[in-house]
Amino acid sequence: MAKFSIPKLGFLLLCCLAALTEATYMKYKDPKQPLGVRIKDLMRRMTLAEKIGQMTQIERTVATPDAMKNYFIGSVLSGGGSVPAQKATPETWIEMVNTIQKASLSTRLGIPMIYGIDAVHGHNNVYKATIFPHNIGLGVTRDPNLVKRIGEATALEVRATGIPYAFAPCIAVCRDPRWGRCYESYSEDHKIVQMMTEIITGLQGGLPVHSKKGVPFVAGKNKVAACAKHYVADGGTTKGINENNTVISWNGLLSIHMPAYFNSIAKGVATIMTSYSSWNGKKMHANHDLVTDFLKNKLKFRGFVISDWQGLDRITSPPHANYSYSVEAGVGAGIDMVMVPYNFTEFIDDLTYQVKNNIIPMSRIDDAVKRILRVKFVMGLFENPMADNSLVNQLGSQEHRELAREAVRKSLVLLKNGESADKPLLPLPKKATKILVAGTHADNLGYQCGGWTITWQGLGGNDLTTGTTILQAVKNTVDSSTQVVYSENPDAGFVKSGEFSYAIVVVGEPPYAETYGDSLNLTISEPGPNTIYNVCGSVKCVVVVISGRPVVVQPFVSSIDALVAAWLPGTEGQGVADVLFGDYGFTGKLARTWFKTVDQLPMNVGDPHYDPLFPFGFGLTTKPTHQN
């Protein structure tokens, strides 16, 4: 039997201990290690299945613990209106997110998943969240500091529900109001859209001083990863048809639709989402030149590129006609994370086959995974993967509602005020004997908020969430002695016999999102026009238009005394009354051209045939009044 001397035994023990320590010490789990070292260390440990799992984003309804563990899923999302329970509390959201996260952390390498949600005008899927004005209204303000503060508030409300990733902002330059997503665009002018990318700083936090260009940045647990979308030229499609073809030269693309991406990348945006649309006939989800060569290589974007919902399926027409081709084209183009969202085994199987058969090179997979891990490390997900209840009181907080109310005030545009400048109707007197409030949109919170609110397409009525309708705001604002009469669609006889001091008519579009909102006629929905004629024919009236874009108003302008574009103001209708009654002045200037007839479209400022009803930049102003 061999004999070990004591020193030799001690040395062997030390070696074993060192080996054990080496095995348990994983550099990627050490926040003190440089970012590059952590990424490299983790990637060398990963199998192909674990890498492809990271590239896969699935819907919460299929994100079972088994799915997360067995397929190493990298990301989960809520589709529009996909919630853990109707009117769910922040605590319910947190519990759901944490349940999914626990499954991710129980895998061999414990890579946390990243949960994403659309938060495009506040945390819009969530009951009792603050709903800010849609982007079309915010563009009117031309106030980057305001949108930065909205970004900060939105980040807190999203984190209040345990979610660290928001699919916002939409930085489309809408060139045709017939597009159903036009309200998600700040302006037809890229300079305003560029200015408004400051919301990214609000969502993610300000970049550290010596940041490398294009490296994503998220400043801790009170901030969220942002997503600039939809790359690129989604707002330029022919006739404004959603997901259609944008026909424009390379110079046109660079000068109109690309500039806001330069700003977003400079601000450290973590992710960029590709567009369903095409550029000169080439689907963006399959455009290697624009996604890899330009965005990643030329612009040095170092975050990850994510597809839109079933974006790979839609590379073919009809969608999903040749899915294996779609996977090859989309991933090959440079898409890093794929929003599958349901049939994830098909995606994983197809991509695995293609890598094993050298159809897609391993280098493409490694590029994708490196980018996804970079974002996860940068945002502190490895150190703080689990959500807690510390921010639940931020959801719908009074401070955020006051900010939204300020945003509403600043987003209103006064288009007409009396027959002449020396006889203005606005601001309205608070002390009046009797006021008529009329119109389909006067007492309808859902209409006020528009699409992407609680559900994908939006809802009508007042039961969707909490907020203040314009009718309620009027009642809150007028003198206690003033009688407010509400009639949704009064007939002319009722108006004439009512002895009203003046009337406020609130009409507009019903809620819609995306393709459902595409419109070739852009009319105020019935019975809006009828209400305008019945009321404004008999009494001094201000018409407030609630819409996601300019709509046909030319036939009514001569018969109304004052006209206000209120866009889609969100839950804080009090902001509308604040300005109508003179507590604050009108300051907003159109960030979109207001056409005379739809036959003129598309028509944008600078076009040779420019002949608008109200030009880009137009907006009458009023001074605040001090009424007793």
What Cα–Cα distance (Å) separates residue 474 from each residue in 143, 228, 492, 505, 537? 26, 37, 22, 12, 22
What Cα–Cα distance (Å) separates residue 72 from each residue in 69, 334, 377, 378, 524? 5, 21, 17, 20, 49
What are the φ/ψ torsions at residue 188 (nearest 5 degrees)?
-80, -10
Task: Choose, from 308, 313, 350, 443, the residue flagged as catalytic.
Answer: 308
Which of 407, 397, 398, 399 minimizes the C-alpha distance to 578?
407
What Cα–Cα distance (Å) separates residue 352 from each residue in 111, 360, 486? 20, 9, 62
Helix (H) or strand (E) holding 618: none
Question: Could you tell me which residues come within 8 angstroms of residue 602 by beta carbon, excluding any fewer than 6 positions away?
Answer: 175, 176, 239, 240
Cβ contact 590:617 at 8 Å: yes
Burial code (b: 16+ CB inside 10 Å, e: under 16) for 4-31 equals eeeeeeeeeeeeeeeeeeeeeeebbeee
Whether 514 is catalytic is: yes
Local structure of 431: helix, strand or coil: coil
Side chain identity, residue 351: L
Whether 599 is catalytic is: no
Q: How far apart are CA 113 and CA 107, in angstroms?
A: 11
Side chain identity, residue 230: H
Helix (H) or strand (E) holding 279: strand 278-279
Cβ contact 185:135 at 8 Å: yes
Which of 382, 378, 371 minimizes the C-alpha distance to 55?
371
User: Phi-psi region for residue 567, left (φ > 0), alpha (ψ -120 to 50) or beta?
Assistant: left
Q: How far apart are CA 543 and CA 413, in angstroms?
A: 12
Farthest CA pair distance, the chain:
117
Q: How far apart are CA 588 and CA 150, in angstroms?
A: 17
What are the φ/ψ torsions at residue 322 (nearest 5 degrees)?
-145, 80
Q: How far apart are CA 81 and CA 283, in angstroms?
A: 27
Question: Could you tell me which residues come within 8 angstroms of residue 149 by beta carbon, excluding any fewer than 6 positions away?
Answer: 202, 403
Q: How far apart are CA 512 and CA 377, in angstroms?
A: 37
User: Phi-psi region for residue 31, left (φ > 0), alpha (ψ -120 to 50) or beta?
Assistant: alpha
* Pairing relationship of beta strands 278-279 and 75-78 according to DSSP bridges: unpaired
Written in H, E and C, the secondary structure of 466-528 is: CCECHHHHHHHHCCCCCEEEEECCCCHHHHHHCCCCEEEEEEECCCCCHHHHCCCCCCCCCCH
Side chain identity, residue 256: I
User: Phi-psi region for residue 48, left (φ > 0), alpha (ψ -120 to 50) or beta?
Assistant: alpha
- 292 is written with which tokens? 């890899």
User: Phi-psi region for residue 122, left (φ > 0), alpha (ψ -120 to 50) or beta?
Assistant: left
Task: Choose, from 176, 184, 514, 578, the residue flagged as catalytic.
Answer: 514
Cα–chain-centroid distance for residue 118? 6
Q: What is the DSSP letter of 364?
A: H
> Among all residues, which ones are annotated catalytic?
308, 514
